[in-house]
Structure 1
Amino acid sequence: MKVISIDIFDLTPELGNRGIAPICIRINTDAGLCGFGEVGLGYGNAHFAGTGIVRDLGRRVLGRDPMDIEAIWEDLFRNTFWGMAGGTVINAGMSAIDIALWDIKGKALGVPVYQLLGGTCNEKLRTYASQIQFGWGPVKQYLNAPADYAQATQDAIAQGFTAVKVDPLGVTDQGEWVRSTEDGSWRLRGHLPSKVLDLACARVEAMRQAGGHTLDIIIENHAFTDTNTAIQLARALEDFQIYYMEEPVHPLNSRSMREIRDNVNIPLAAGERIFTRWGYRPFLEDRSLQVIQPDFCLVGGITEGKKVADLANLYDCMVQGHCCGGPISTAAAMQIETAIPNFAIHELHSGALKAHIRGLCKYDHMPEDGYYRVPEAPGIGQELSEEAMSKADHYLVC
């Protein structure tokens, strides 16, 4: 069996950088089998690099046996010059190719990928409602008032979720996303002004009251804070029984992360902007992170993601896959999370509730009563719909 071509689908190009716009690939073989992967650049400001990197790396995969996943990964890592330097774009392209190859292998052998990773460790995947500050429903909002945060929390609980995540600093007191403000009135570095800290605490307090003491609340910082302001926020929130705090500081600075960990009583998490074992190594060795959050469409795919998870297990560190993309991203994460003993919880981003994302996939997998079950279909258990592929901007590597 040989790889004969790679299709690249920019699935919602009209969104550009204004929302989640997934970029997926399909690797085709001369045996008629195909596999789907996702480039983890469907949000932020690297969107168009996603199609380009697969066009570059994909040429090295043509003519290869898709079953030789480890050898192909090593070739992309060591023989492309930029592979060992890593970075967001390179690793995103490698990840998409790797996931698609695992999808082919599972289909060729007639088993779901998690069976090839060691079988079942977790029959059900506890799932949390992610990014409550955008509301919890089919329409994206920027929530401002604490009462609105309480209502979004109640909406998630009504669907069976027992854990939620919120960025209490991400929306300003004017109801704007923090990255859109330019006048410095909503300062998040150096020292948090009283109005910022008070509103953040009021929002989290409202969520705690809405959910009671059994609800797990995850705090998202998006690395908007620095070492000082992260410590300031964490100390103010400690009494609200925070499950863990995500990206409190620059995601590649393990010393700053460790300083925060030494000064607060909240576990720390990060990982969506950390790549490969080499990237995670300092955070695990100095125990600055208690939960790692690899995005399997960015970290190096399933091949590297499983190794990162196993390395984390050596340091008693839990794993929560980062999911902020399309349906292929979710499917890949579930395959690994099902197979690892140090699984923490699964992320369901508020963007995944939106019709334009759910409509991209052949199978509309959603959690039941706050839990996912991994699909039992061969491969990763998910494919793009024919309609989504027909409407996408399309590139072909052959």
Structure 2
Amino acid sequence: MGALSIRKVRKSYAGTEILKGIDLEVEQGEFLILVGPSGCGKSTLLSMIAGLDDITSGEVHIAGRRVNDLPPKDRDIAMVFQSYALYPSMTVRENISFGLEIRKIPHAEREAAVDRVAKILQIEHLLDRRPSQLSGGQRQRVAMGRAIARNPALFLFDEPLSNLDAKLRVEMRTEIKLLHQRLGTTIVYVTHDQIEAMTLGDKIAVMKAGEVQQFGTPNEIYRNPANLFVAGFMGSPAMNFIPTRVVEAGSGLGLAMESGGEHFVFPAINGEALRSKLGSEIILGIRPEQITEVVDSHGDVPHAVTRSIKVDLSEPTGPDTLLLVRLNNTKVTCRVCPDFAARPGEQMKLLFDLSKAVYFDPATEQRIR
């Protein structure tokens, strides 16, 4: 059994089912991300792990111990909120040590814990300040320090970076990841930001409407999404979804395409999975970075095709330029090097790397494998 085991957990409010049978296993030292849109149930699940909300049915085990009926103080967890929840009248030192004082930890041990935490988070110079004298990022470090000082079996983070500006969010993401590497403690982290999920997590549980749509490593979820929702939610810019029809192409299968009045066929990679879909509509999923400029350094890219297509829109981002083109009357985003980007209205020869393309059933929205 791992550090956290969630078994068939359900939650209902007034007859409405919020969580619909969640099963997750988190190993010791893993960083689990619960990600999904607002209202998907991720914060409710975190509250149930913490003991702040009752479980309608199912079981939660922390470090091998069933905790369904235990109060939060007896679960050996520490929680970090987006609101910091610091005591304004206390200094940073007092905020960090307060929980230890409540547990009647001896003074010398409390001081040693505060010094250890301050060194880990590099906030030694802030120990005598009060929260009103700190920036948002410093307050969040103090909130994390208060949690670390307890040395719990499990850390729970509830959207801790939501109140920070974009630059500080990036900096704090790095801090949290480094903190996890130093401590090696198990973390469950709730966010609606898929960038946070991809950069922080060892494992990701993508949630929608009270259900886990897919559970796996960031690489598994990004490269092999289970359905349209996961494919569209994870990735920025989002995956392109191009409606197409499976047709015969020589000795194999192809995908019917049209752009600017020209009709052509892309080869269908993994055609055996599409054999039963011959003549039917499917959805081709291809990420923006798989549609790029054609240059000599690409060499012979396996399963790649090139096509000249008119550019509708150009969006420079600095390191890349995002181009908008149309395929099968659908807006398609391409990611190209700025030095090669065509201007709107111009034709540009694009390389489509179909080796990582995925297919979905438009009726069920599930992956075709």
What TM-score, normalized to structure 1?
0.29
Structure with more of its chain in helix, by fraction: 1
Structure with more of its chain in strand, by fraction: 2
What TM-score, normalized to structure 2?
0.30
Larger radius of gyration: 2
Higher relative contact order (CA 8 A, sep 6+): 1
